[in-house]
């Protein structure tokens, strides 16, 4: 488990350098001055992240494709048949409603329910598949090796982990980290819909096929639609590869970084062209 010991600044820097090296951004640099200024003047409230009158986005690098159109290819309205919006819903209320849930068989082997963590007013929500071993022990999402990579991805976007909200489709660890069954997803995902409705972010990023297929109601492989924008209950949604997949296939990090740059543009975050 990697989260029992706080990383030294040197270890953290080395992790960053390895991450950017994988992206072939050999001379990428972070303007600490502007990041520090932004973090000071940018509180967690949504409006402060993306002031419409003064977008903070600068010229995107040439390799970034223009924002993809929203593709109306999924039957998203059917989700309203699953769960209507709950007026005045909050994350606290949803967590209370979940309780010590035994609604599906995944409760039998779990240690802790992993509800979600982060800013309840986040502009950006990451949705993964389900808890793994480390998450099950700690009750927190994305705290293992894949979580460490997700943190690097978030920080590469110029955000802190506390700025975003992170959760999963199912809240209990599937045994042996197997893929959640359809009935388990169907039982647990209404709580995810309520979380997303309560947070009302500007963008949702699905990490991996299960999250994307659940929210988009499709069985298509993620490789067919990742990197495109979709409309999910009036929020822009994009799917990209899961960090665990990137640990096994580091060459795909560049594709994920392109996806995240589109999200940055949508959020009005500064996208810097790497210096070469
Ligand atoms: S996975 Fe979801 S529905 Fe199943 S027991 Fe856990 S919290 Fe309940």
| Residue in 96, 107, 108, 195 to alter for ligand 1 test, most ligand atoms within 8 A of Cβ | 107
Q: What is the pLDDT of residue 11?
A: 74
The CA 167 to ligand 1 mean position distance, Å, reads: 13
* Ligand 1 atom with minimal separation from the 184 CA: 4
CA of 56 to the centre of ligand 1 (A): 40
> Which residue would you say has higher pLDDT here, 247 or 27?
247
pLDDT tens per residue, range 139-178? 999 999 999 999 999 999 999 999 999 999 999 999 999 9
Decide whether any atom of ligand 1 lies within 6 Å of the 97 Cβ.
Answer: no
C-alpha to C-alpha distance for 60 and 230, rounded to whole angstroms: 21
pLDDT of residue 63: 55
131-153 in b/e form (b: 16+ CB < 10 A) is bbebbbbbbbbbbbbbbbbbbbb
Distance 243 CA to ligand 1 centre (A): 23
Report CA-CA distances (Å) from 119 to 45, 91, 116: 9, 10, 10
Find out whether 200 and 120 touch, Cβ atoms under 8 Å: no
Cβ contacts of 2 within 8 Å, gap of 6 or more: 134, 144, 145, 148
Does position 223 have pLDDT exceeding 80, yes or no? yes
CB 117 within 8 A of CB 166: yes
Q: Kindly indicate the confidence band of residue 16, based on its pLDDT and cuts at 50, 70 and 90.
A: low
**Nearest-angstrom CA–CA distance, 157 and 263:** 9
Ligand 1 neighbourhood includes 192 CB (under 6 angstroms): no
271 lines ligand 1 (CB under 6 A): no
Spatial CB neighbours of 129, under 8 Å, sequence gap ≥ 6: 168, 169, 170, 179, 180, 207, 208, 209, 210, 211, 242
Closest residue by CA, ligand 1 atom 2: 188
- Please report the pLDDT score of residue 23 as a whole number: 56
CB of residue 242 inside a 6 A radius of ligand 1: no
**Euclidean distance between CA atoms 65 and 11, whole angstroms:** 33
Residue 26 pLDDT exceeds 60: no
- How do residues 200-216 score in pLDDT, each as one tens digit? 999 999 999 999 999 99
Beta carbon of 101 within 6 Å of any ligand 1 atom: yes
Does residue 268 carry a pLDDT above 90? Answer: yes
| pTM (two decimals) | 0.76
CA of 131 to the centre of ligand 1 (A): 11
């Amino acid at each position: 488990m990697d989260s029992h010991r706080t990383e030294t600044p040197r270890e953290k820097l080395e992790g960053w350098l390895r991450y950017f090296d994988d992206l072939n951004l050999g001379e990428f640099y972070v303007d600490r001055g502007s990041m520090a200024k932004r973090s000071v003047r940018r509180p967690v409230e949504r409006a402060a992240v993306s002031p419409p009158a003064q977008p903070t986005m600068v010229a995107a690098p040439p390799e970034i494709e223009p924002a993809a159109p929203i593709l109306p290819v999924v039957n998203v309205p059917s989700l309203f048949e699953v769960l209507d919006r709950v007026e005045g819903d909050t994350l606290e209320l949803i967590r209370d409603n979940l309780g010590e849930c035994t609604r599906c068989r995944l409760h039998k082997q779990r240690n802790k329910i992993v509800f979600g963590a982060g800013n309840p007013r986040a502009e950006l929500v990451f949705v993964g598949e389900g808890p793994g071993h480390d998450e099950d022990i700690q009750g927190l999402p994305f705290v293992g090796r894949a979580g460490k990579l997700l943190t690097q991805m978030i920080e590469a976007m110029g955000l802190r982990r506390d700025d975003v909200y992170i959760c999963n489709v199912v809240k209990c660890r599937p045994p042996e980290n197997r893929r959640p069954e359809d009935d388990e997803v169907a039982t647990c995902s209404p709580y995810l819909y309520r979380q997303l409705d309560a947070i009302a972010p500007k963008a949702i990023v699905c990490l991996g096929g299960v999250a994307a297929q659940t929210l988009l109601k499709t069985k298509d492989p993620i490789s067919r639609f990742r990197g495109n924008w979709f409309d999910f209950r009036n929020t822009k949604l994009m799917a990209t590869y899961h960090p665990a997949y990137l640990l096994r296939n580091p060459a795909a990090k560049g594709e994920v970084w392109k996806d995240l740059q589109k999200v940055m543009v949508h959020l009005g975050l500064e996208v810097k062209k790497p210096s070469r």
